[in-house]
Amino acid sequence: MNIFSRIRRIPFWSWIWFILGALYFILPLYATVNFSLRMERGVIGFKAYAKAFEDPEFIRTFLYSNALALTTIIVSIILIVPTAYWIRLRLPEARRIVEFITLLPFVVPAIILVFGLIRIYSSPINIPFTDTTLLQPLTTFEVGTDILIVAGYVVLGLPYMYRSVDTGMRTVDVRTLTEAAQSLGASWFTIIVRVILPNIRAALLSGALLTFAIVVGEVTLASFLGVPAFGPYLFLLGQHRAYEPAALSFASFLLTWVVMGLIQLFTGGQEQIAGAH
């Protein structure tokens, strides 16, 4: 009843634009799904999905990329939460500079970032002004490249993570909450863990999700650093196979939406709290 009367109140042209927009997004998706279901001639079925998921290389790269994403998210949080917090609290002048830095990944392409990383870290790391080698070139061993790629991903995810966290902090007035906690005797650690983090949970989750999506699909950094990640795997697969990449694309699309739904579910109450002010 209510919904119908509400729908009728939306003007005609809004509907046209809405439908056009929806088609623009849904048609390619539909085409992908449709295609992915037709691996066997004349039969609609999930063969492409079964084949794609069976490939041990898929499992390996997918797990590896997930691990990378998780590490990236943790490192980002450890790096960005205290930074954004301190800027809100004590260094509002620094906000412009930091915002500019976080936007750099939009200006500097990933390919430049990866060549920069390789150029600098393919030589050994010395103690400054001496010839004593502290660490072998990071590009020459596995853990080294893992460190490099996570560092690169932290940079790529910076715009999303920083902005989410900063927005989250704006909605809860961290400055006054901090002072309230301080006057009650709380230490810095307690304040961050028990007051700040729980109140920006929703923002952290959305930042984490975006970072996750970027890392799992990323190709440039992964292929140039030569790590066995999911992005390059999907890319390669696309060059040799027809149906499986379509199936995997749709599957990862679905996964993203499920995660988004879960986040919405878990943080619904949280946003209500923030929204109450």
Q: Total number of residues binding another protein (CB under 8 A)?
A: 24
Cβ nearer to another protein, comparing 25 with 189 = 189
CB 214 within 8 A of CB 206: no
Q: How far is the CB of 161 from another protein (least distance, A)?
A: 21
Q: How far is the CB of 189 from another protein (least distance, A)?
A: 11
Q: How far apart are CA 255 and CA 64, in angstroms?
A: 17
Q: How far is the CB of 266 from another protein (least distance, A)?
A: 13
Cβ nearer to another protein, comparing 136 with 272 = 272
Cβ nearer to another protein, comparing 43 with 265 = 265
Residue type, 18: F
Cβ nearer to another protein, comparing 175 with 241 = 175
Cβ nearer to another protein, comparing 40 with 179 = 179
Non-local CB neighbours of 171 within 8 Å, separated by 6+ positions: 203, 274, 275, 277
Q: How far is the CB of 208 from another protein (least distance, A)?
A: 18
C-alpha count within 13 angstroms, C-beta hemisphere, residue 180? 9
Q: Please name which of 268, 243, 262, 267 lies closest in space to residue 36, comparing C-alpha atoms.
A: 243
- For residues 135 to 174, the per-residue mask of contacts with another protein, x marking binding by CB under 8 A and - elsewhere, is -------------------------------------xx-
67 Cα distance to chain centroid: 13
Q: How far is the CB of 183 from another protein (least distance, A)?
A: 4
- For residues 43 to 82, the per-residue mask of contacts with another protein, x marking binding by CB under 8 A and - elsewhere, is ----------------------------------------
Output the CA torsion 142→148→154→156 (10° steps): -110
CB 211 within 8 A of CB 73: yes
- Within 170-199, the residues that bind another protein by CB under 8 A are 172-173, 176-177, 179-187, 190, 195, 198-199
Q: How far apart are CA 169 and CA 95, in angstroms?
A: 13
Q: How far is the CB of 144 from another protein (least distance, A)?
A: 40
Cβ nearer to another protein, comparing 172 with 214 = 172
Q: How far is the CB of 204 from another protein (least distance, A)?
A: 13
Place of tokens 């954004």: 84
CB 274 within 8 A of CB 172: yes
Cβ nearer to another protein, comparing 154 with 172 = 172
Cα radius of gyration (the chain): 23
Strand partners, 135: 125
Q: Please name which of 114, 133, 113 lies closest in space to residue 123, comparing C-alpha atoms.
A: 133
Q: Which residues contact another protein (rule: CB under 8 A)?
A: 172-173, 176-177, 179-187, 190, 195, 198-199, 201, 270, 272-274, 276-277
